[in-house]
Chains A and B, each alone.
Chain A
């Protein structure tokens, strides 16, 4: 337990070791540690950001999907509507056409009937005349009885 020059020697050695450590040991190691710390922090932040991006993308994809579905639904409704319209239009055109044909057929029938009636009427008049001649056995002056005959024909 003697105090001697060793004390000074130890202080000098201590000073040298501390100086060495301050200058050559501590700074590079602590720099590397700090760099690794920033790198890890950056990596974690990037991971977090990636996760967030993924969430956003997923949400966007869901939105797009829903939008597409809605649009398809709308298209189907529109097509249905258009289909109904076309069918309706075709029906109405067909009905018009049928009416037109019916009318023209009715007109023709009416015409034919009128013509047949006129013809029949003429023939009946002539027949009546012939009949009357036979009954009277004499010449009927057609000119004298024209008005009678015409009246008859008109009554038929």
Chain B
């Protein structure tokens, strides 16, 4: 990538492969960031979707493989690995979620494993896949789905919908609405309560997705910056420590997303009055 200036190089690396209606009316991939923006909502980031689905399929394939051949007495190494993850998730759910819901634990496992897989793509050297894609005629290729807000919001909005669904299901519409009206200051302060509770409620999915997106985007950007600004024979001195540190970050981010999901859904299952 020596032919491009650092700014062009970085800009190239943080643009998704977006498919939609081009300004001239035909369907195709956006060449520049402005084109992608002009496509509006009716466009799709093919790279995000592709890698996310690939990661999800890999997760499903291996976990299903273990689940289908699960052995109580003679677990394979893969099974031990899977069990470790499952036990970690089950333990977290047990600690943070006190209701009765068979969906929460598998949901948490899916979130943890899927986000971890998607974040893991960050450790693939930043140029390898985009160069291969370029050779195949695709102008852009962002390998890490969690550096795309669409992916993180896709998950956090799903969690948000589940929070509303279970909130209404467990407490009834009245109970659910009451949480917004009568807390935290009691029923004489409805006007003060409503905006406070609404903001904190809406902030949950926002913080959930933006935290993950921010961390992953920043991490990816550091890798890209290293590649763009440091001579190739010295890059290892910075990128290797950053990658090792990043192993911690991607695991932690997956864990935080999972844990907050459990906590938020736990809150949806118990009313304030029970907790106090």
- Listed in ascending order, the chain A residues whose CB lies under 8 Å from chain B are 1-11, 13-18, 20-22, 24-33, 35-36, 39
**With A10-B52, A18-B110 as given contacts, are A4 and B45 in contact (CB-CB < 8 Å)?**
yes
Asked whether A29 and B70 contact (CB < 8 A) given A10-B151, A17-B56, A24-B64, the answer is yes
B72:A14 contact, CB within 8 angstroms: no
Cα of A88 to Cα of B107 in the assembled complex, Å: 98
Closest to A15 in B: B158
Select one of A13, A15, A32 contacting B70, CB under 8 A: A32
Contacts A4-B150, A5-B41, A21-B60 given; indicate if A14 touches B36 (C-beta within 8 A): no
Q: In the complex, are the beta carbons of B154 and A2 less than 8 A apart?
A: no
**Cross-chain contact of B53 among A1, A13, A33 (Cβ < 8 A):** A13
For the complex, give the distance between the alpha carbons of A30 and B90 in Å: 9
Instruction: Assess whether B192 is interfacial by the CB under 8 Å rule.
Output: no
Interface centre among A28, A30, A31 (most CB of B within 10 A): A30
* Consensus secondary structure, chain B interface: helix
Given contact pairs A2-B37, A33-B83, enumerate 4 new A-B contacts (beta carbons under 8 Å): A3-B41, A7-B150, A18-B107, A21-B60
Complex contacts, B150 vs chain A, CB 8 Å:
2-4, 6-7, 9-10
Q: Contact: B157 with A11, CB < 8 Å?
A: yes
Closest to B105 in A: A26
**Cβ contacts under 8 Å, A4 to chain B:** 18, 20, 39-45, 150
A3-B153, A4-B42, A7-B153 known; A13-B106 Cβ under 8 A: no
Cβ contacts A to B, 23 pairs, < 8 Å = A2-B16, A2-B18, A2-B40, A2-B150, A3-B149, A4-B44, A6-B49, A7-B153, A7-B154, A9-B49, A10-B145, A10-B151, A10-B153, A10-B154, A11-B158, A14-B155, A17-B60, A21-B109, A21-B110, A28-B68, A29-B82, A30-B86, A32-B71
**Chain B 12-64 residues near chain A, CB threshold 8 A:** 16, 18, 20, 36-37, 39-45, 48-49, 52-53, 56, 59-60, 63-64
For residue B224, give the distance in angstroms from its CB to the closest CB of chain A.
Answer: 16
Instruction: Given A29-B82, A32-B71, decide whether A14 and B154 contact each other with a Cβ distance below 8 A.
Output: yes
Tell which of B39, B64, B155 touches A2, judged by Cβ atoms closer than 8 Å. B39
Q: Answer whether residue B199 sits at the interface, using C-beta atoms and an 8 A cutoff.
A: no
* B18 contact set on A, CB distance < 8 A: 2, 4
Residue in A1, A6, A22, A24 whose Cβ sees the most chain B Cβ within 10 Å:
A6
- What A residues does B37 contact at CB under 8 A? 2
Contacts of A8 in B (CB 8 A): 154
Residue pair B43, A26 in contact (C-beta under 8 Å): no
Q: Which residues of B contact A32 (CB under 8 A)?
A: 70-72, 83
Structural contact, B83 and A29, CB atoms closer than 8 A = yes
A127 to B: closest C-beta gap in Å: 131
Q: Is the CB of B155 within 8 A of A10?
A: yes
> Within the assembled complex, what's the spacing in Å between the Cα atoms of A39 and B83?
16
In the complex, the answer to whether A21 meets B106 with C-beta atoms within 8 Å is yes
Chain B residues 106-161 with CB under 8 Å of chain A are 106-107, 109-110, 114, 145, 148-151, 153-155, 157-158
Q: Contacts A7-B154, A11-B157, A29-B66 known; A1 to B41 CB distance under 8 Å?
A: no
